[in-house]
A and B are shown apart, each in its own frame.
Chain A
Amino acid sequence: MKQPTVTYFGEHALLLEWKPAIDEHTLSEVLKIKHHLANTCKDEIVEMVSAFSSIAVYVNKNVALQQFAETIKKELKKSSKATSITRRKVQIPVCYDVKYATDLEEVAEKNKLSVAEVIKLHMKNPYKVYFLGFLPGFPYLGGLDAQIHTPRKETPREKIEAGSVAIGGSQTGIYTTDSPGGWNIIGKSPLAFFSIKKDSPALLQAGDIIQFKQISKDEYRKIEVEVAADVYEIEEEVIYD
Chain B
Amino acid sequence: MIEILKAGLYTTIQDKGRTGYRALGVPVSGAMDTVSAAMANKLLNNDTEAAVLEFTMMGPKLQFKVPTVISICGAAFQPKINGKSIDLNKAISVAKKDILTLGHPEFGSYGYLAVSGGFEAQEVLGSRSFYKNITKNSNLEKGAILKLQNPSSEKILRNASFAIDSSHFSDNTIEVFPGPELHLLSKKFQKEILASTLKIGSQSNRMAYVMEGLEAFSAKEIITAPVQPGTVQLTPSGKCVVLMRDAQTTGGYARIFQLTNHAICKLAQKRAGDKVQVKVKKYYNDN
Q: Is A184 an interface residue (CB 8 A)?
A: no
Quick one: which of B105-160 are within 8 Å of A by CB?
124-125, 133-134
**How many residues in B have their beta carbons less than 8 Å from beta carbons of A?**
32
Could you say which of A177, A196, A206 contacts B23, with CB atoms under 8 Å apart? A206
Q: Does B177 contact A (CB under 8 A)?
A: yes
User: Does A55 belong to the interface (CB within 8 Å)?
Assistant: yes
Contact of B74 with A by CB under 8 A = no
Within 8 A of A (CB), among B268-287: 283-284, 287
Interface flags for B162-190 (1: CB within 8 Å of A; 0: not) read: 00000000000000010010000000000
Residue in B24, B260, B283 whose Cβ sees the most chain A Cβ within 10 Å: B24
A91 to B19, alpha carbons, bound, how many Å? 30
Q: Nearest Cβ in chain A — how far from B286, in angstroms?
A: 9
Within 8 Å CB of B224, what residues of A?
51-52, 133, 140
B177 touches A52 (CB 8 A): no
Question: Contact at A196–B124, with CB atoms within 8 Å?
Answer: yes
Q: Is the CB of B228 within 8 A of A9?
A: yes
B194 interfacial by beta-carbon distance below 8 Å: no
Contact, CB under 8 Å: A134 / B133: no
Q: How far is the CA of A139 from the CA of B197 in the complex (A)?
A: 38
- Asked whether, in the complex, the Cβ of A10 is within 8 Å of the Cβ of B177, the reply is yes
Tell me, rounded to whole Å, the shortest Cβ–Cβ distance linking A23 to chain B: 11
B135's nearest neighbour on chain A, judged by CB, is A196
Which residues from B are CB-within-8-Å of A15? Answer: 180, 226
Q: Which residues of chain B are within 8 angstroms of A50 by Cβ–Cβ distance?
A: 23, 226
Check A196–B19 contact: CB distance below 8 A. no
Please count how many residues in chain A sit with their CB below 8 Å of the partner chain's CB atoms.
44
- CB within 8 Å of A: which of B222-274? 222-226, 228, 230-231, 248-250, 258-261
Q: CB of A82 within 8 A of chain B? A: no
B177, A196: Cβ atoms under 8 Å? Answer: no
**A150 at interface, CB cutoff 8 A:** no
Q: Do the beta carbons of A134 and B250 come within 8 Å of each other?
A: yes
Residues of B within 8 A of A7 (CB): 180
Contact between B248 and A20, CB atoms less than 8 A apart: no
Within the assembled complex, what's the spacing in Å between the Cα atoms of A54 and B231? 16
- Distance between Cα atoms of A132 and B224 in the complex (Å): 11
Q: A236 an interface residue at 8 Å Cβ cutoff?
A: no
Q: How far does the alpha carbon of A112 sit from the alpha carbon of B68 in the complex, in Å?
A: 68
Whether B250 contacts A131 by the Cβ 8 Å rule is yes
Contact of A201 among B24, B222, B249 (CB under 8 A): B24
- The answer to whether the Cβ of B22 comes within 8 Å of any Cβ in the partner chain is yes
Distance (whole angstroms) from the CB of A90 to the closest CB of chain B: 16
**A201 contacts B180, C-beta separation under 8 Å:** no
B83 contacts which chain A residues (CB < 8 A)? none
The answer, yes or no, to whether A117 is at the interface (CB within 8 Å) is: no
- CB <8 Å contact, B258 and A10: yes
Q: Is A62 an interface residue, CB under 8 A from the partner?
A: no
A17 part of interface (Cβ distance < 8 Å): yes
A54:B260 contact, CB within 8 angstroms: no
Residues of B in contact with A (beta carbons under 8 Å apart): 19-26, 124-125, 133-134, 177, 180, 222-226, 228, 230-231, 248-250, 258-261, 283-284, 287
Q: List 6 A-B contacts (CB under 8 A).
A: A15-B180, A15-B226, A54-B226, A56-B226, A56-B228, A179-B133
